Chain A
């Protein structure tokens, strides 16, 4: 390669590498601000500010959704399988909201450690499948549970 071109190439590569390092360090330093939401374990560890508008996200715990029959008030627990967080919301939930689905909620932590949400967004994962496949999976997992239950029952009655 021609020496002038080699020199130009080195300059350009240095420019891009330096810039990448600068941007890398900046985003690393700002990672808490770039994260869209706090995990329940972040909040349990006391990393989230109290009484400041924040977002919290995780999976809606199975069997934790309690709907108030007279209003739009909903209570549910959100978990990341390490810690869980009690949430309260008054309003219309997105269609995809369900137990076992991800949500991201905007709101404030109150003094009692409850999260008062004023907006709830549904988060979905990258899995797509036809309804029949989902049903089959559901059936299969229930079948496994049943088998496990039977085993447990057999164990407990073994003596």
Chain B
């Protein structure tokens, strides 16, 4: 297990693995997401109360899932950066923070668009919506802090501390709808309990969530490879790679 862990610390090894994984992630992600979205948006039954407007759930829930999962994985990587000083963990945080920002924004935006016809308002300061907005600012803070410090090592540590501080927000987002009175309803899409929607709505939602996770994996590999090339540009293996035409 430790050998695998140390291998993961080698940018060159990761570069090879990522290159091999990427086509599978891209094809699998596109297929699943397309299947989930077409099924959900065009063929799944209407909701008895909201009619067709509930269909935004097929974009809203996957984005919100990703927004939180990305932050949790960033926190794990931040822990690795602080304790083991592994360079690749920092590359990971740097590569995915903007992706997390985009998904958080998407979740907030689709939520607002959905809130207007169902609740009657774009925005309300309830605990779920506010904690999601804090997550958006955390992502923004992580990106800004990283850009503000020129030295790579001190930037990595400062960012790692900020990410770990912000991780307290994640259980607040998750349980806000149970701990406090909120306008936002409790979770529909649960992995551990029986879902509160029929199979023909739940399955397309599951497909979109899985598809978006795979596409996120592909994007992570792509962004990490770019960052690795920039950081390792003086090493021999990168020079050989470039001379060989990137093959």
CA distance A110 to B118 in the complex (A): 28
| Complex interface: chain B residues within 8 A of A20 (CB) | 168
Query: Could you tell me the dominant secondary structure of chain A's interface residues?
Result: mixed
- Cβ of B82 within 8 Å of any chain A Cβ, yes or no, is yes
- Cβ of A144 within 8 Å of any chain B Cβ, yes or no, is no
Q: Which 3 A-B pairs have the closest CB atoms?
A: A94-B120, A134-B48, A130-B45
- Closest B residue by C-beta to A123: B183
Tell me which of B28-36, B136-144, B185-193, B233-241 binds A.
B185-193
Interface string of A37-71 (1 = CB under 8 A from B): 11100000000000000000100000000000000
Please report the total number of A residues contacting B with Cβ < 8 Å. 41
Most buried by A among B118, B120, B197, B200: B120
- In the complex, besides A35-B127, A124-B50, 15 extra interface pairs with C-beta distance below 8 angstroms are A27-B179, A35-B180, A35-B181, A36-B124, A36-B182, A57-B181, A94-B118, A95-B118, A126-B187, A126-B188, A128-B50, A128-B57, A128-B196, A131-B46, A133-B48
Q: A121-B120, A131-B48 are in contact. Are A12 and B181 (CB under 8 A)?
A: no
B120, A5: Cβ atoms under 8 Å? no
Q: A36-B183, A134-B48 are in contact. Are A129 and B118 (CB under 8 A)?
A: no
CA distance A133 to B196 in the complex (A): 13
| Complex interface: chain A residues within 8 A of B50 (CB) | 96, 124, 128
CB-contact partner of B54 in A8, A95, A128, under 8 A: A128
| Complex interface: chain B residues within 8 A of A19 (CB) | 165, 168
Interface residues of B in 117-169 (CB under 8 A from A): 117-121, 124-127, 161, 164-165, 167-168
- Closest B residue by C-beta to A125: B185
Most buried by B among A127, A132, A133: A127
Q: A34-B127, A128-B196, A133-B198 are in contact. Are A123 and B119 (CB under 8 A)?
A: yes
- Cβ of A104 within 8 Å of any chain B Cβ, yes or no, is yes
CB-contact partner of B119 in A8, A94, A132, under 8 A: A94
Interface residues of A in 101-152 (CB under 8 A from B): 101, 104, 119-135
A5, B183: Cβ atoms under 8 Å? no
B164, A12: Cβ atoms under 8 Å? yes
| Complex interface: chain B residues within 8 A of A8 (CB) | 82-83
- Cβ of B96 within 8 Å of any chain A Cβ, yes or no, is no
